[in-house]
């Protein structure tokens, strides 16, 4: 799903990022790969903050196989926290505070040799 303009921000030279959307329309399909859906919406406010130095991953253009992707990126472990809520016909839910605890969060810049560099976050 495409994000609305200005809903994702990066600052402090890539050390911090924030995703904030409010009432973003999204269909609720109930079952994976099902074409039956009702109107729904989500609101998300999540922040990432790098907690260490970046580490280079991938081989980039130095990889010898033309069929292999040319992925390369610089990633740092991160803290992640935020909240989310959703609504669809007859249903509403909201999260407790979301964190990376028990999971893994990272952020960094990546490219695969075919597309422009982008900031990547997980968590």
pTM of this prediction? 0.74
For position 43, what pLDDT does the model report? 96
Residue 8: pLDDT band (50, 70, 90) is very high
| Whole-number Å distance between alpha carbons of 112 and 123 | 21
The per-residue pLDDT for range 12-28, each reduced to its tens digit, is 988 999 999 999 998 88
**Span 43-87, pLDDT tens digits:** 999 999 999 999 998 877 665 665 456 778 899 999 999 999 999
Q: Where are the domains of the chain?
A: 8-122
pLDDT at 80 (0 to 100)? 93
User: Does residue 114 have a pLDDT over 70?
Assistant: no
């Amino acid at each position: 799903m495409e994000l609305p303009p200005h809903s994702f921000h990066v600052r402090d030279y890539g050390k911090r990022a924030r995703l904030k959307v409010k009432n973003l329309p999204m269909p609720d399909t109930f079952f994976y790969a099902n074409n039956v859906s009702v109107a729904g919406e989500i609101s998300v406010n999540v922040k990432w903050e790098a907690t260490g130095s970046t580490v280079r991953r991938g081989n980039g253009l130095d990889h010898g196989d033309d069929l292999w992707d040319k992925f390369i990126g610089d990633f740092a472990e991160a803290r992640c926290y935020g909240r989310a809520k959703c609504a669809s016909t007859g249903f509403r839910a909201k999260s407790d505070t979301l964190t990376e605890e028990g999971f893994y969060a990272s952020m960094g810049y990546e490219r695969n040799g075919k597309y422009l560099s982008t900031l990547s976050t997980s968590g």
